[in-house]
Amino acid sequence: MPNKIPNRQAICDVLMRAAESDRDVVVLCSDSRGSASLTPFFERFPQQSVEVGIAEQDLVGIAAGLASCGKKAWAASPASFVSTRSYEQAKVDCAYSRTNVKLIGISGGVSYGQLGMSHHSAQDIAAMSAIPGMRVYLPSDRFQTARLVEALLADDKPAYIRVGRNPVEDIYADDDCPFQMDRATWLRRGSDVAIVATGEMVRPSLEASRELEAQGISATVLDMYCVKPLDVEAVVEAASAARCVLSVEEHSPYGGLGSQVAQVVGERCPRPVRCLSLPDEPVVTGTSPQIFAHYGLDAGGIAAAARDLLARAGE
Amino acid sequence: MRQNTPTLEDLDLLRWDLRQDCVDIIMAGGGGHIGGDMSMMDALMVLYLRHLRVSPETVDDPNRDRFVLSKGHAMEAYYAVLCHQGFLDLADVKARFQQFGSPYIGHPNNKLPGIEMNSGSLGHGLPVAVGMALAGKMDGRDYRVYTIMGDGELAEGSVWEGAMSGSSFALDNLCAFVDRNRLQISGCTEDVLRLDSQEERWAAFGWNVLSIDGHDLAAIDAAITLAAETKGKPTCIILNTVKGYGSPVMEGKAPWHHQLPNAQEYAQISADFVARKEAALHA
């Protein structure tokens, strides 16, 4: 039975549980409560909900002001807008001023695949990662999303969390979701290729590793939900045990997970690296699965890229 | 108003000393935004010395009043006031302003005591102040929140997002000042991008609007009191000011947005402050 619960709903569930006993948990939306699955929160906790209208700069500035007065401010807006329209507020009001604001980028990547580049966020990892003091997380399924939100509720530093719009197949289970804050989750350990993936690319990477296994290729799969701070030691360990490294992300080829993984591998354990990503151009119109398949970001494409990389690494 | 506050007569003298401190900080650091410092100084002084309920001992008190300097480039005036109020040490600020590794940078640094938020990029202060005021309402605290914006800053769209939310949330614990000195780097604000009428614009956005002479200490004082007494909506106090106020060397001259006085100009500016203080003393 396919999972029908999107990661955004997992965020709402955890925030509602927290708000029951903590009136400082505050959620802000920019006419985005429905798309963020936060309507239940607004209905259950109207005194802890803030609607700012379609105004992302105001959204993040107000969140920072609330946080400076002790609130745990969670501001949700489409990733395409909150990572760009309010980028300066994220930089100055959140990161530079060290306020406890958690920015939730909903419908991230190409979730709105049919709506054009204005609604895609293929630059958010690069943009947010470049801000000193800003952390960047892309959870891979609903269970990990819940663990991440629980962990973030316990700290007082800013962070950016990107989730997609649609439900994604489970990787973990409620009673089997190994999670350590800022540490990648090892899904498989292998000796030929180390696949480092984030967000919605983790599941097809795991499927690719099974396909590769059937072909006699041993793959590591790292769920790098913490793009910043990157789990450097996990990357080094995975890369050192393999002949080559493949990064997979729903992002621009520049400044995302691949760039960071390549930096680490190049510096600490040099070996061939290939970065699978969206192209440096407006992506083709389509649903997320169609777009992923088109650019080789599905299980088959990832496995093919791994075989190609291994062939080159072996030369 | 607080207890044991200085009188307006006291402040009519002090404002020239604070201006001298401000100019001395600028000279020590080799730069600053002197024109906007001078236009804003009187309102900042009256606010901090007669109204704002915060002291070096209460910088972490959740019930303290909040102030956000949205026109963050007027930092030297803010340093002068923070030093006078005991948050910072004037000699230390003068010794290290803008020096290598110094915490005394050219814009607000909230690692320093008494400074709530970092700013510098314009158009940020009002939304942040809205958030602070909203938190006060949520928690049932009676603190007030103030911010000062420049008039050139009002071209930033985020100011008007904040204006909409401030009135939409009925934040009567919020008071925004506009330092309407009518000059920005490139010249007259009305030539750069028309800003008149600020009174009509803020009223149209649902704010209580008070437009006053921004160098009339009694008018500033009364406006802040009136803002605190106004219920159901935030107040915008439009300070009609003179950029570079205090010395004819600078007054009303756009280049003094961030011009550094030479030795002769410095001497003249200081003499003008002394003369105005003397005039106030004998008024």
CATH number of the domain within which B241 lies: 3.40.50.970
Dump pLDDT digits (tens) for B77-114: 999 999 999 999 999 999 999 999 999 999 999 999 99
Ramachandran class of A250: left when φ > 0, alpha when ψ lies in -120 to 50, beta otherwise: beta
Does A132 contact B at CB distance below 8 Å? no
CA torsion A92→A93→A99→A101, rounded to 10°?
-110
Residue at token pair 């006053």? B212
**Number of A:B CB contacts under 8 A?**
103
Query: If you ran DSSP here, which 8-state letter would residue B260 be given?
Result: P
Bridge partners of B66, per DSSP, are B145
The minimal CB distance from B158 to the residues A50, A61, A99 is found for A61
**Final residue of a structural domain among A128, A162, A196:** A162
**Number of Cα atoms under 13 Å in the Cβ half of residue A282:** 9
Dump pLDDT digits (tens) for A144-165: 999 999 999 999 999 999 999 9
Distance of CA B100 to the CA centre of its chain: 26
- A170 belongs to a structural domain: no
- Cα–Cα distance for residue pair B213/B86, rounded to 1 Å: 28
Q: Do A93 and B124 touch (CB under 8 A)?
A: yes
Interface test with B, best of A27, A30, A52 (most B CBs within 10 A): A52
Q: Report the CATH number that the domain containing residue A91 is assigned in CATH.
A: 3.40.50.970
What token pair was written down for A307? 């075989």
Does B73 contact A at CB distance below 8 Å? no
Q: What is the pLDDT of residue A1?
A: 77
Mean pLDDT of chain A: 97
3-state secondary structure of A307: helix
| Domain of residue B219, residue span | 8-281
How many Cβ atoms from other residues are within 10 Å of residue B234's Cβ? 29
Question: Please, which pLDDT band fits residue B268 given cuts at 50, 70 and 90?
Answer: very high
Helix axes B263-281, B8-29, angle to 10 degrees: 170
Give the gap in angstroms from C-alpha A273 to the nearest C-alpha of chain B: 39
- A2 belongs to a structural domain: no
Residues of A in contact with B173 (CB under 8 A): none
Helix axes A202-214, A299-314, angle to 10 degrees: 60
- Cα–Cα distance for residue pair B256/B70, rounded to 1 Å: 20
- B2 belongs to a structural domain: no
Residue at token pair 């006078």? B84
Residue of A nearest to B134 (CA): A66
Q: List phi, psi (to 5°) of A113.
A: -60, -30
* pLDDT score of A315 more than 60: no
Residues A22, A146, single domain; the answer is: yes
**Final residue of a structural domain among A92, A127, A162:** A162
Q: What is the pLDDT of residue B3?
A: 63
A102-106, A294-298, B253-257, range with the lowest pLDDT: B253-257
Residues A28, A151, single domain; the answer is: yes
- Cα–Cα distance for residue pair B163/B59, rounded to 1 Å: 27
Q: What is the 3-state secondary structure (H, E, C) of B58-114?
A: HCCCCCCCEEEECCCCCHHHHHHHHHHCCCCCHHHHHHHCCCCCCCCCCCCCCCCCC
- A298 belongs to a structural domain: yes
Q: Do A61 and B128 touch (CB under 8 A)?
A: yes
What token pair was written down for B44? 């900042």
**Final residue of a structural domain among A109, A130, A162:** A162
Residues A28, A142, single domain; the answer is: yes
* pLDDT score of B2 more than 90: no
The answer to whether residues A64 and A89 touch, using CB atoms and an 8 Å cutoff, is yes
Q: Which residues of A195-232 are buried (b: 16+ CB within 10 A; e: fewer)?
A: bbbbbbbbbbbbbbbebbeeeebbbbbbbbbbbbebbe
Q: List phi, psi (to 5°) of A215.
A: -100, 10
The answer to whether residues B37 and B257 touch, using CB atoms and an 8 Å cutoff, is no
- Cα–Cα distance for residue pair A123/A185, rounded to 1 Å: 24
- B3 belongs to a structural domain: no
Amino acid letter, residue B239:
L
Give the gap in angstroms from C-alpha B53 to the nearest C-alpha of chain A: 15
Give the gap in angstroms from C-alpha A161 to the nearest C-alpha of chain B: 21
Picking from A224, A269, A220, A276, the residue whose alpha carbon sits closest to that of residue A251 is A276
- B1 belongs to a structural domain: no
Give the gap in angstroms from C-alpha A44 to the nearest C-alpha of chain B: 16
**List of E strands, B124-234:** 145-150, 174-180, 183-184, 187-188, 208-213
Residues A77, A129, single domain; the answer is: yes
- A176 belongs to a structural domain: no
Residues A59, A196, single domain; the answer is: no
Q: What is the pLDDT of residue A314?
A: 78
Residues of A in contact with B138 (CB under 8 A): 23, 26, 47-48, 71
Give the gap in angstroms from C-alpha A118 to the nearest C-alpha of chain B: 20
Residues A199, A86, single domain; the answer is: no
CA torsion B185→B187→B193→B197, rounded to 10°?
110
Dump pLDDT digits (tens) for A180-194: 999 999 999 999 999
Dump pLDDT digits (tens) for A69-79: 999 999 999 99
Question: Please, which pLDDT band fits residue A228 given cuts at 50, 70 and 90?
Answer: very high
- A169 belongs to a structural domain: no
If one counts the domains in chain A, the total is: 2
Q: List phi, psi (to 5°) of B122.
A: -80, 155
- What is the pLDDT averaged over residues A52-68? 98
Dump pLDDT digits (tens) for B10-47: 999 999 999 999 999 999 999 999 999 999 999 999 99
Residues A131, A197, single domain; the answer is: no
- What is the pLDDT averaged over residues A98-112? 97
Please give the residue that has the higher pLDDT: either A294 or A312: A294
Residues of B in contact with A92 (CB under 8 A): 118-121, 124
- What is the pLDDT averaged over residues B137-160? 98
- B264 belongs to a structural domain: yes
Does A51 contact B at CB distance below 8 Å? no
Q: What is the pLDDT of residue B4?
A: 74
CA distances from A123 to A61, A127, A264 (A): 21, 6, 20
State the ipTM, two decimals: 0.97
Does A299 contact B at CB distance below 8 Å? no
Residues A243, A119, single domain; the answer is: no
| Domain of residue A197, residue span | 185-314
CA torsion B251→B257→B263→B264, rounded to 10°?
-30
3-state secondary structure of B241: coil
Picking from A192, A207, A202, the residue whose alpha carbon sits closest to that of residue A227 is A202
Cα angle: B51, vertex B218, B32; to 5 degrees:
70
Amino acid letter, residue A206:
L
- Cα–Cα distance for residue pair B155/B9, rounded to 1 Å: 36
If one counts the domains in chain B, the total is: 1
- What is the pLDDT averaged over residues A201-217? 98
3-state secondary structure of A161: strand
The residues, ordered by sequence, that sit 6+ positions from B130 with a Cβ below 8 Å of its Cβ are A58, A61, A62, A65, B162, B165, B166, B169, B171, B174
Q: What is the pLDDT of residue B1?
A: 54
The answer to whether residues B213 and B242 touch, using CB atoms and an 8 Å cutoff, is no
- Cα–Cα distance for residue pair A78/B151, rounded to 1 Å: 32
- Cα–Cα distance for residue pair A200/A108, rounded to 1 Å: 10
- Cα–Cα distance for residue pair A118/B202, rounded to 1 Å: 32
The residues, ordered by sequence, that sit 6+ positions from A150 with a Cβ below 8 Å of its Cβ are A14, A18
CB-count exposure of residue B161 (10 Å: 0-12, 13-18, 19+): buried
Residues A232, A127, single domain; the answer is: no
The answer to whether residues A278 and A250 touch, using CB atoms and an 8 Å cutoff, is yes
Residues A145, A274, single domain; the answer is: no
